[in-house]
Structure 1
Amino acid sequence: MSKRLVILGAGESGVGAAILGKKEGYEVFVSDRGLIELKYKQVLIQEEIEWEAEKHTEDKILNADLVMKSPGIPEDAPLVLKLKENGIKVISEIEFASKYTHASLIGITGSNGKTTVTSWIYHVLKNGDLDAIMAGNIGDSFAKNVALKNPDYYVLELSSFQLDGIETFNPHIAVLTNITPDHLDRYHHNFEEYIASKFRIVKNQTNKDYFIYDADNKTICNWLKKNKISSIQLPMSLKEHEGEGAYLKDDKIYIKVNNTEFIMHKDKIALKGEHNTKNAMAATTVAQLLKIRKQTIRESLESFQGVEHRLERVLKINNVQYINDSKATNINATYYALDSVQPETVWIVGGVDKGNVYEELLPLVNEKVKAIICLGVDNEKIINSFSNCVETIVETKSMEEAVKMAYHLAEKGNTVLLSPACASFDLFKNYEDRGRQFKEYVRQL
């Protein structure tokens, strides 16, 4: 008899897992407590997979042999707890899909920079003519790709939520870009729980695998002092260090792995800023491990264009630069954004607060920001945090209103920066929707 696979959540990862489950001979049932997007509904109908929307019928779920839950459903959701009480294994799509591929896995996680690093690694691999697919938290789901394709390499962007549901998942190369407080609402406001979640990426690594990490991040270094891991450690730092890994010296990046050395001036790297120097180090270290030609790596560092919604320059209007950084959903990401702009910036901020401590931004806001436009349902925390150092703080209820207000407040030579430091779910579908609306209304000015 075929085993019963129940999938909770019919989004990208859920429908991808359903396709793979059916291919691997499972009896598949998909259940979503909300509405299912039309494009996903059509796939389920076409694949003849049983599904339900706007409810979870427990009789059809509690008889599962295996449950795959979408990353959006918390580990302590009542239905998930009930499944575990009944001894039913609940895993993530990443765990499920990894069992059915022989490809070499490169996993990237971190509070910030993971989309940029994932895209940059993929860019270098493609330029090096390696057969690679980018998936995970970006593009088509990992499971859907495993069902339909058979590449040599997967470059996977992994959120902490995806890592929470792994048991045996093991990337040959793991990258941890940084750890700063984020998603604390999901982790019982316990930073230690969130840190442990990120470090699950190395949980199953062996002494034949590699771990690339930010050695300037105190949180990462403190964890590594207290916990032993099996993989080969390759630290990245803006300060020179002994041994293998990456560092910056005299404005040049040095990458040393497996007795080979790569050197390049940081000014040649396409994306600017200290955080992008680190992102470039991560991509280069992976490329060196995979023995990609140095010339190809150089060209890939010079030609990479960055990702949408991450410090994306939209337009210059009346000598005012409009920048879309909608992907900045936490304080640390917004810190990078404010650090990269000129003084006299009009800053659009706000949304669903995930436990933010805005005080960390005070020095930069003091130096760079001339006006704040709040874009959220509840802006009280933002107003209280910055009313002493920014004279002009206005509240808006839509992106159109926020962009028009920014246009009135900005003068020649100013920057208008959308860098919300918050999740988007109060007024938008997701951060992409927020960023696209921003660009759309800027183009209408």
Structure 2
Amino acid sequence: MKRLIVLGGGESGVGTAILGKQKGYDVFVSDKGAMSKKYKEVLKHNEIDFEENQHTENKILNADVVMKSPGIPDKVALVQKLIENSIPVISEIEFAAQFTTASIIGITGSNGKTTTTLLVYHILKNAGLNVGVAGNIGDSFAQQVAEHSFDNYVLELSSFQLDGIEKFNSHIAVLTNITPDHLDRYEYDFNKYIDSKFRITKNQTASDFLIYDADDEAINKWLLENKTSAKLVPFSLEKKLEYGAYVEDNNIIINITKDRINMPISTLSTKGKHNTKNAMAATMAAQLLKVRKQNIKESLEDFEGAEHRLENVAKVREVEYINDSKATNVNATFYALECMEKTTVWIVGGVDKGNDYNDLLPLVREKVKAIVCLGLDNEKIKNTFGNVVDIIVETAGAEEAVKVSQKLAEKGEAVLLSPACASFDLFESYEDRGRQFKAAVRNL
């Protein structure tokens, strides 16, 4: 019996443990921190052995294979020891993929991947395909492989998940964009992060597809210097493409099959240039899976978008409150500010992953009347925007940030939470930050 060790007792870890046990492995889960009650109950119910608040080395170093959850960096001593002992250390998606014959649509990118994943899933489900959605969303991929038999999976894949793949392949890979993010995990080397994202195409063959943003400098550079076997399927807002998706006279044109699609941008349910790109990528993925044009158009018109991504929370005394807590990097916040049509009070800050805020200066100058800081260390924000915005206030929680914003915003203006940072200094996660913000707005 092969021994499977799972490092990390969160969603991906517990899902892998369930699948491993089902496939006849001797499974042991080890978490260095405390595990949530919910996951401990699941492991007990499935009679899977686990430990928390420690890693007992002699129970781990006898593994045949180790699944490391994406949050654990490769440079951790225990992981290094496993590698030195030639024990394979893989990600959950690598482990789970060997137990399904489903067609996989894998979606990665610095921004837009959640929205694009949900949009592809929405289109395929509405078209009647037997499809699951997983990765960074909802139940883990491994657990779904254990409990369902879907013909298709739409997977949102982070660079950390892709770092742990060997044989995993997406029949259709989508690369939404690449901008500096998580550089703390890649030795502050942008090229290492770019290579990590492109692992999504490493096992693709000539019968597979790579859908990508042809306006993205980092993507174009990589494609010039490296080879992929996949068929390239580009989308662009800037140039007309012979093959792919582009924009002409405010219409999206998609020209990859005989069934050419022509759709007014105004009919899309989610607004903004980045959402036009997400819609192009999702539409091409659906077309490659033979979904009919009419089905695609209907789904694009009634799609609701992702929670915590430019989500309209409420209008209070004629001021709009918008929750974009999912914006954990500068590029995501750039999109949010670009979409703002009203004078804005901007709530920003948190754990900075090596941010350069200078890209935001023109948008901030044009649209932002006041900045409300929501983080423990706000020096960089104050230094960057101190000369551009007259009012910068520091706050220490969502409720305080919302109350201060209400005082600063006038009729016809907007309050935007778009932090450009991770949330772990004051909140459990970006979801927690977004929920606390929404609760505070509803209490005004």
- Residue 93 of structure 2 aligns with an amino acid whose one-letter code is I
Inter-partner Cα distance in structure 2 for 1:305 and 1:136? 20
Partners of 1:33 and 1:55 within 8 A in 2: yes
Partner residue in 1 for 2:259 = 260
Partner residue in 1 for 2:134 = 135
Q: Are 1:106 and 2:105 counterparts?
A: yes
- Residue 244 of structure 1 deviates from its aligned partner by 1.8
Which deviations, in whole Å up to 9, do the C-alpha atoms of 1:293-331 show, x marking residues without a partner?
A: 111111011111111000000000111000000000000
- Residue 215 of structure 1 deviates from its aligned partner by 0.2
Inter-partner Cα distance in structure 1 for 2:148 and 2:429? 28
Partners of 1:108 and 1:156 within 8 A in 2: yes
Inter-partner Cα distance in structure 2 for 1:263 and 1:76? 49
Which deviations, in whole Å up to 9, do the C-alpha atoms of 1:414-437 show, x marking residues without a partner?
A: 100000000001111100000000
Partners of 2:131 and 2:150 within 8 A in 1: yes
Partners of 2:259 and 2:293 within 8 A in 1: no
- Residue 343 of structure 1 deviates from its aligned partner by 4.3
> Normalised by the size of structure 2, how large is the TM-score?
0.99
Partners of 2:344 and 2:367 within 8 A in 1: yes
Inter-partner Cα distance in structure 1 for 2:146 and 2:268? 36
Q: Are 1:332 and 2:331 counterparts?
A: yes
Aligned residues: 444
1:224–1:42 distance in 2 versus 1, CA, 3 Å? same
Partners of 1:240 and 1:249 within 8 A in 2: no
Partners of 1:239 and 1:249 within 8 A in 2: no
* Residue identity (%): 65
1:405 is paired with a residue whose SS is helix
Unpaired runs of 5+ residues, structure 2, are: none
1:260 is paired with a residue whose SS is coil
Inter-partner Cα distance in structure 2 for 1:231 and 1:320? 48
- Residue 243 of structure 1 deviates from its aligned partner by 2.8
Inter-partner Cα distance in structure 2 for 1:399 and 1:45? 36
- Residue 115 of structure 1 deviates from its aligned partner by 0.3
Q: Are 1:365 and 2:359 counterparts?
A: no
- Residue 76 of structure 1 deviates from its aligned partner by 1.4
Partner residue in 2 for 1:21 = 20
Partner residue in 2 for 1:434 = 433
Q: Are 1:408 and 2:403 counterparts?
A: no
Inter-partner Cα distance in structure 2 for 1:97 and 1:245? 31
Partners of 2:342 and 2:412 within 8 A in 1: no
Unpaired runs of 5+ residues, structure 1, are: none
Inter-partner Cα distance in structure 2 for 1:242 and 1:236? 8
Counterparts in 2 of 1:299-378, with a 5 A limit?
299-378=298-377
- Residue 162 of structure 1 aligns with an amino acid whose one-letter code is Q
Inter-partner Cα distance in structure 2 for 1:342 and 1:104? 40
Partner residue in 2 for 1:39 = 38
1:422 is paired with a residue whose SS is coil
Which deviations, in whole Å up to 9, do the C-alpha atoms of 1:122-165 show, x marking residues without a partner?
A: 00001100000000110100000000011110000000010000
2:33 is paired with a residue whose SS is coil
> Normalised by the size of structure 1, how large is the TM-score?
0.99
- Residue 240 of structure 1 deviates from its aligned partner by 3.8
Q: Are 1:182 and 2:176 counterparts?
A: no
Which deviations, in whole Å up to 9, do the C-alpha atoms of 1:207-248 show, x marking residues without a partner?
A: 000000000001100100000100000000013434321111
- Residue 43 of structure 1 deviates from its aligned partner by 0.4
- Residue 260 of structure 1 deviates from its aligned partner by 2.8
- Residue 146 of structure 2 aligns with an amino acid whose one-letter code is A
Inter-partner Cα distance in structure 2 for 1:391 and 1:44? 54
2:384 is paired with a residue whose SS is helix
Partner residue in 2 for 1:393 = 392
Q: Are 1:238 and 2:255 counterparts?
A: no
- Residue 46 of structure 1 deviates from its aligned partner by 0.6
- Residue 257 of structure 1 deviates from its aligned partner by 1.6
Inter-partner Cα distance in structure 1 for 2:251 and 2:257? 20
- Residue 167 of structure 1 deviates from its aligned partner by 0.3
- Residue 208 of structure 1 aligns with an amino acid whose one-letter code is S
1:185 is paired with a residue whose SS is helix
2:66 is paired with a residue whose SS is strand
Partners of 2:322 and 2:415 within 8 A in 1: yes
Aligned-pair RMSD on alpha carbons?
0.7
Counterparts in 2 of 1:200-219, with a 5 A limit?
200-219=199-218
- Residue 77 of structure 1 deviates from its aligned partner by 1.2
